[in-house]
Chains A and B, each alone.
Chain A
């Protein structure tokens, strides 16, 4: 029976697909968002359950600015306005709730993320956000015209064609966005590394552990928390923008709360409060997801798992169960994540 299974499994495809996804654009965007969340939660101890709000702010800020053709519709200005929108979101979350206890921030972030998503979806904003259809408009999308074209076609230095081999073969568009995505991940990680080794980072870590201690030593805790929220938020919004370039459109379905929790999973998996945590976490997350999905699919298709137990339609949900079990196991045996520091592992947030 067991021999039979090994004969049926396409090992090359199994690892190939998993590896492809773990270095793909999606892994890069999740890593980028997790770098932002890492500054919030890992280093500052801010419970941000609305990571996706910053991603949505970035993506929609960019897309609206561009499709409306404001100020000549320059893509760089559009990106800048996406980042500016993220700053506004950070301020509107932070100013009212950062003086309060940590739980209030958690509630506010969840709420803002949903308010944002539902507003973008509403009929009232149809002309601006495209409502449930998103941006660019259906006509533009049918004609294959998108804000992403400037970046992925006009400004693409890579010649047309496919690059790489085996399952790691990418076309020039995907490759270019991958390069942009992982470059931004590197830059953002470098930024966080630079900040955290400075006296600024020392204050941030002190706030994570005990705000009152920092206050008693003359540090303006509120201001530091706001700075952290803004910087991390802007990094997460870049993730939203990169994803928009990859997909070629934005719509509210991309910004459901579950994305927030995937990014939390990525961060906890890799290890909060470490520079490599978000990157290792994201790559592992996608590797495991796709690996288990593909394995299950092949087992179902080959009849090794009978239809009565698992149908191929259900595989997508089962892989999430597996991911959940993996995360729970990790929490028990290695709470600091794959590359986190045990001494700084922090499950106890006030």
Chain B
């Protein structure tokens, strides 16, 4: 599957911090320490546009912390990261460092959470409608005048229904989100994030706690996203899923990027085996 996207990647070197042909996000010198621990310490990292990139690494590698940093939910000690809105246009860029979460989301970079944040006390449909960006009726000035937002609301409603259809949640449309299963909540959160038509979507462990049948359909959804032109960045532990759908894998350990490459590059990389299994076993593997 990764083969059909090799055109976007070109012949990018599978080395940490390598330069991509058309990056959508570049991260420079981002450091975040908790006390004496450097949870994240990244010199340079580029995320290619239009493909599925996976962040993998052992527990405590700093994957989620990095997600929190680049989406504004946590503040780094130093560093900056830049969002390239347009394809192949080096000039149209936005410095995201220092922006607040909602500002970053409004630039077109939307995230989901490891522990799903579907809003249980709202209906599935209301969850979806909430996701749409730049709603006129969300400003106090227009809220009381239905005529000012009714038309847009109808457009959003149709979009929400289409997405619910696609994510097989239509039958739950008017139920409270509390009644959904864990896997359905993951689907809802992903669908909701798509309401704002993001350019880059960041999924934090989309498969965690989801039953195997639903995992299959989640994977298909993620691939569809890429095929529609959305860049996907996701954190995952499920190795089969990662190897199956990722076009590019970034391996983090102890806050640093220790390897990058296509799934086949990464699975052969001794540094990765080392990080995952410990050096002792890596030595043994070498002997084998």
Q: For residue A208, give the distance in angstroms from its CB to the closest CB of chain B.
A: 8
Q: Which of chain B's residues has its CB closest to A198's CB?
A: B143
Interface contact B138-A216, CB-CB below 8 Å: no
Chain B residues within 8 Å of A10, by CB: none
Q: Is the CB of A199 within 8 A of B135?
A: yes
- Neighbouring B residues of A206 by C-beta, 8 Å: 119, 122, 130
> B143 contacts which of A194, A214, A346 (Cβ < 8 Å)?
A194
Interface range, B side: 35 or more
In contact, B117 and A202 (Cβ under 8 angstroms): no
| Shortest distance from the beta carbon of A345 to any chain B beta carbon, whole Å | 9
State A346–B121 Cα separation when bound (angstroms): 9
User: A198–B71 contact, CB under 8 A?
Assistant: no
Across the interface, do B119 and A194 meet the contact criterion of CB distance under 8 Å?
Answer: no
B105, B126, B140, B196: the one within 8 Å of A202 (CB): B126
B264 to chain A, nearest CB (A): 33
Tell me which residues across on chain B come within 8 A of A217, comparing CB atoms.
102, 105, 110, 130-131, 133, 192-193, 195-196
Closest A residue to B112 by CB, please name it: A216
Determine if B105 and A210 form an interchain contact, defined as CB atoms under 8 angstroms apart.
Answer: no
Residue of A nearest to B105 (CB): A218
Q: Mark A169-192, 1 if CB is under 8 A from B, else 0.
A: 000000000000000000000010
* B178 A343 Cβ-Cβ under 8 A: yes
The listed residue with most B CB atoms (<10 A of its CB), out of A205, A219, A227, is A219
Measured CA separation A88–B101 after assembly (Å) = 27
Given contacts A206-B130, A212-B73, A212-B113, A218 and B144 within 8 Å (CB-CB): no
Interface residues on A, range: 20 to 34
The residues in A between 304 and 350 inclusive whose CB is less than 8 angstroms from any CB of B are: 343-344, 346
In B3-46, the 8 Å CB interface with A consists of none
A195-B144, A198-B143 as given contacts; A205 in contact with B129, CB under 8 Å: no
Query: Main SS of the interface on chain A?
Result: helix
Most buried by B among A216, A221, A343: A216
Known: A199-B129, A200-B140. A216 touches B121 (CB 8 A): no
CB neighbours (8 Å) of A201 from chain B are: 143
- A124: Cβ under 8 A from any B Cβ: no
State whether the Cβ of B276 lies closer than 8 Å to any Cβ in chain A: no
CB-CB nearest in chain B for A344? B121
A141 proximal to B (CB < 8 A): no
Complex: how many Å from CA A216 to CA B118? 12
> With A and B bound together, what is the CA distance between A195 and B106 in angstroms?
23
By the criterion CB–CB under 8 Å, are B131 and A200 in contact?
no
CB contacts (< 8 Å) of B102 on chain A: these are: 214-215, 217-221
Contact A213 B119 (CB under 8 A): yes
- Contact (Cβ within 8 A) A218 B119: no
Q: Mark B209-224, 1 if CB is under 8 A from A, else 0.
A: 0000000000000000
A/B interface sample: 7 pairs, CB < 8 A:
A198-B142, A203-B130, A215-B102, A216-B101, A216-B111, A216-B112, A218-B110
Chain B positions near chain A (C-beta within 8 angstroms):
71-73, 100-103, 105-106, 110-113, 117-122, 126, 129-131, 133, 135-140, 142-144, 146, 149, 153, 176, 178, 192-193, 195-196
